Structure 1
Amino acid sequence: MDLSVVIVNYNTKKLTIDCIQSILDSKLNVQYEIFVVDNASSDGSVEQIQSMFPEVNVISNKENVGFSKANNQAIKACNSRYVLLLNSDTIVNENTLDEMIHFMDVESNVGAVGCEVNLPDGTLDKACHRGFPNPEASLYYIIGLAKKFPNSPKYNSYHKSYMNMHEVHDIDCLVGAFMMVRREVIEQVGLLDEEFFMYGEDIDWCYRIKEAGWRIVYNPTVSIVHYKGASSRRKPFKIVYEFHRAMYLFHKKHFKTKYNFLVNGVVYTGIILKLTFATISNLLKRVR
């Protein structure tokens, strides 16, 4: 098998069906398989997908085990040369998968590759092109210097939009909405870290892949459409908590030993304050 496409579904039946159909419509010139891991959806997703696409491998969980663990379930079950993490709320363009496989076949030192990820309005989903969120990069992003100086390598090291976004180049972080990973890389660095429930697992994986000496590449010659946040709208407080928890986990895992206790204290305090403000904001929206 050349490619295994892994899609995690949580109450996004219509979007997942459209995503699967876009893959089938691609008419790939390679051997491929599709896995859908359902995290205990209540919208009839499993039955509908099995009925419409009997060729799709469906793993049905009895509870929501999170994004990392669900992806790992499918990765363990497949044995292809490449594994593609693909969000359920995406549409794959006709030539995207073939072109990405060809790219990986030619560039043997690339461990993971991502494409241009566009939002429905045609703008770039900035999450597909990121630097690692070290304390400096995160600070400049939070206080607005990254936005004020988008062409500055110093101040905008979070999204790195100062780079030529129309050319293929190496990058730190891809997004789990579309990330094609080489089988040898998974065997070397391991699966997604299941401590991350929904956010941060893609950044952590990219960090480990680069630490192992593999290249991570952004390839904007092909693209997908991302209807962002479809499955995360249903539990806003859970999502807000997991988003900030992922910040804490990533810093603790990869940066804690690289900074002194003062910097670490500022980072953890900042995460707590940001979580507090985000929670209050959500509560006020619900009241309104």
Structure 2
Amino acid sequence: MDIIVCVHNALEDVQRCLGSVVSHTSPPYRLILVDDGSEAATRDYLSEFAQRHDCLRLRNEAAKGYTLAANMGLRASSAPYVVLLNSDTVVSSEWLPRLLRCADSDPAIAMAGPLSNTASWQSIPRVEEAGDWATNPLPQGWDASDMAQAVAGCGAPVFPRLPFLNGFCLLIKREVIEQFGVFDEENFARGYGEENDYSLRLYEGGWSLAVADDVYVFHAQSRSYSNERRKRLGELAAQALARKHGQALIDRLAMRCRHSRVMAGIRARSTVCPDRIRLRREGRERFAGKRVLFLLPAADAGGGANIIVSEAQRMLDMGVDAAIANLAANRQDFERAYQGLRLPVHYFRRPEELETLAHGFDAVVASIYYTVAWLRPLSGRGPVLGYYVQDFEPHWFSAGSREHREAMDSYTLLPGLRPFCKTEWNRSEVQQHTGAECRVLGPSVEVDLFRPRHERVDGRIVIAGMVRPYSSYRSPAMTMRILNQIKSAHPDEVEIVTFGVDEFDPSFQNLRPTAPTQHLGRLGSPELATVFDQVDIFVDFSTYQAMGLTAMEAMACGAAVIVPAAGGTTDFARHEHNALVVDTRDEAQCQSALERLVRDATLRQRLGQQALTDIQQFHPEGAALRMLSALFD
């Protein structure tokens, strides 16, 4: 690896940059310093630095401009990979291996660049402000390493493709330089525009450019040039770029950058990175060492189980020993549904075994109405007893039935039981019908899994709906009717995707669509995240939702959603702002809302974009910390 740093004065920036490179870059690499006519103080510093660190130092006695300086470095380079790094940057731990991993993730990638505070389309959390590129100052009390750590810790990278990469930090493969040569010195001699020209040359040559979205390099916006000169150079570069490549192509590719759903998701996630890190640290300070056991008698992956697994795993990040207790009969199916689970799972055959299993835990949490009774032997014996209420379960059963009575009694069955729920609606239902008071934790969704990963390329509008024939409140028949009608009305524009039940289940066969529909059966969370990555609209026509997890998952992927007004969806969905919230008792209103989203692309895109931004605040760390507070404060 050759790292080329071009320098023109701005000594303090240069010292910070080179200091960060030496501190955070592991060999083997070679540092090539190109001194482009710097004054004495910077010149002498570079000379001394090069001797001390065995760098190759090149110098122009008179400044020739960035492009010629960069090309000097490129021509002196011979390594398989070259990094052009501005002298006003600060790198952090693992920056180079992660950049390299991005570049090598696909042989079609020619160049890779990181995220930054000010790097045009690679900027996070904002791209523009007040009609100019955003500067995005670091959060108060943070340095570049803090932000880099937060970015790297917010989920696996997806390496989005962009037609343009900012030149402040570019990794270029040697074969690309051999094919396309160096920067255009004739049209962009003074700098500005040279990296856009190179990006366009590579794009027209069939190569891809990728963003290493697990790398953050701070960019100080160099003081080598004044703002006025920088603006003038930018204007001249834009004119030269248009003459060479045509303004139409430039505008089309710039629009791809501006409307990238994947980059929008990355920027949205970055807005809550500082808060998520803060909550993890707070959780450690307050609750590290606590032991919490969740009673989760689940076989398949489902909404309520997914939420518990997600939030319990965040407790692990807070130093809490969180674990699951499940029935031995569910073991095979559960482990198939939750492969790679970080949580320890303790299996038991009979509820009577829980008294022994729970020994040493500070809290034991029931997760469904009948598991509350399993806690009775532990009452008054030491551990805090909690109940994670995720619906008002008496609604599931006929009044007067044994299950209805048992569900109704569960909220007040044990003295000292600490119930908590997701939404204000759920709290109100429990309080109104039973007198028990639940602490509201707030909605949560696994934002590290549900996120945009690929750009939408198919021109058709993909509409997804969950169909659960055995859950009447989910309105399976009405859902299928509306989806059939919309497909019949727009046969060439719309693609319908359904999921939620095995395709050959007799109850689903009774609802078979008359219009062409792709039914995907039962989906685990990873499969559903893949589906939502390519969905434009998600519909939930349930009569009510206690929270509405699946809609939140779709929103986190940038889809426009329709959700029921009844229930807890309004804790995260705002009508006409980030969703359409409808009275699902009115089939015509549901049909009209979906028709509107199909016909109005602007509305569809606006709602999806806002949903993608808003849903980030419902990360699992917040709910996990509030649950620990509910149990132990």
Q: TM-score, normalised by structure 1?
A: 0.70
Which of 221, 231, 237 does residue 214 from structure 2 map onto? Answer: 221
Contact 1:6–1:83 (CA under 8 A) maintained in structure 2:
yes
3-state DSSP of counterpart to 2:217: strand
Contact 2:24–2:93 (CA under 8 A) maintained in structure 1:
yes
Which of 23, 46, 49 does residue 49 from structure 1 map onto? Answer: 46
1:36 aligns to what? 33
3-state DSSP of counterpart to 2:165: coil
Matches of 1:193 and 1:72 in 2, distance apart?
9
2:191 aligns to what? 198
Contact 2:102–2:211 (CA under 8 A) maintained in structure 1:
no
1:247-262 map, 5 Å = 247-255=238-246
Q: 1:77: Cα distance to partner? A: 0.6
Matches of 2:69 and 2:30 in 1, distance apart?
17
> Larger Cα Rg: Structure 1 or Structure 2?
2
1:10 aligns to what? 8
Q: Which sections of structure 1, spanning at least 5 residues, go unmatched?
A: 120-124, 130-140, 148-165, 260-288
Matches of 1:48 and 1:230 in 2, distance apart?
17
1:266 aligns to what? none
1:112-131 map, 5 Å = 112-119=111-118, 125-128=119-122
Contact 1:50–1:56 (CA under 8 A) maintained in structure 2:
no
3-state DSSP of counterpart to 2:115: strand
> Cα distance 1:36–1:258, how it changes in 2: closer, same or farther (>3 A)?
closer
Q: 1:256: Cα distance to partner? A: 6.0
Deviation larger for 96-105 or 73-82: 96-105
Q: 1:237: Cα distance to partner? A: 4.5
Matches of 2:120 and 2:68 in 1, distance apart?
25
Contact 1:17–1:49 (CA under 8 A) maintained in structure 2:
no
Q: Which sections of structure 2, spanning at least 5 residues, go unmatched?
A: 135-156, 251-633
Matches of 2:32 and 2:88 in 1, distance apart?
15
Q: 1:201: Cα distance to partner? A: 0.6
Matches of 1:22 and 1:13 in 2, distance apart?
14
1:25 aligns to what? 23
Letter in 1 for 2:223: A
Matches of 2:162 and 2:89 in 1, distance apart?
22
2:323 aligns to what? none
Contact 1:128–1:173 (CA under 8 A) maintained in structure 2:
no
Q: 1:127: Cα distance to partner? A: 4.3
> Cα distance 1:258–1:226, how it changes in 2: closer, same or farther (>3 A)?
closer
Matches of 2:176 and 2:44 in 1, distance apart?
34
2:63 aligns to what? 64
1:116-265 map, 5 Å = 116-119=115-118, 125-128=119-122, 167-194=158-185, 195-196=187-188, 197-233=190-226, 236-255=227-246
Q: What CA deviation, in whole Å up to 9, does each residue of 1:182-202 have, x standing for no partner?
A: 110111111111121121111
CA RMSD, 1 decimal: 2.9
Q: What CA deviation, in whole Å up to 9, does each residue of 1:81-136 have, x standing for no partner?
A: 111111100001111101112332342221000111125xxxxx43436xxxxxxx
Matches of 1:205 and 1:199 in 2, distance apart?
11
1:271 aligns to what? none
Q: TM-score, normalised by structure 2?
A: 0.33
Contact 2:50–2:57 (CA under 8 A) maintained in structure 1:
no
Q: 1:257: Cα distance to partner? A: 9.0
Contact 2:67–2:194 (CA under 8 A) maintained in structure 1:
yes
Aligned-pair identity (%): 24
Q: What CA deviation, in whole Å up to 9, does each residue of 1:13-58 have, x standing for no partner?
A: 2211221121111242x52111111111114212112213421211
Matches of 2:207 and 2:237 in 1, distance apart?
24
Count of residues in Structure 1 that have an aligned counterpart in Structure 2: 222
- Structure showing greater relative contact order (alpha-carbon pairs closer than 8 Å, 6 or more residues apart): 1
Matches of 1:88 and 1:203 in 2, distance apart?
19
Contact 2:113–2:211 (CA under 8 A) maintained in structure 1:
yes
> Cα distance 1:40–1:258, how it changes in 2: closer, same or farther (>3 A)?
closer
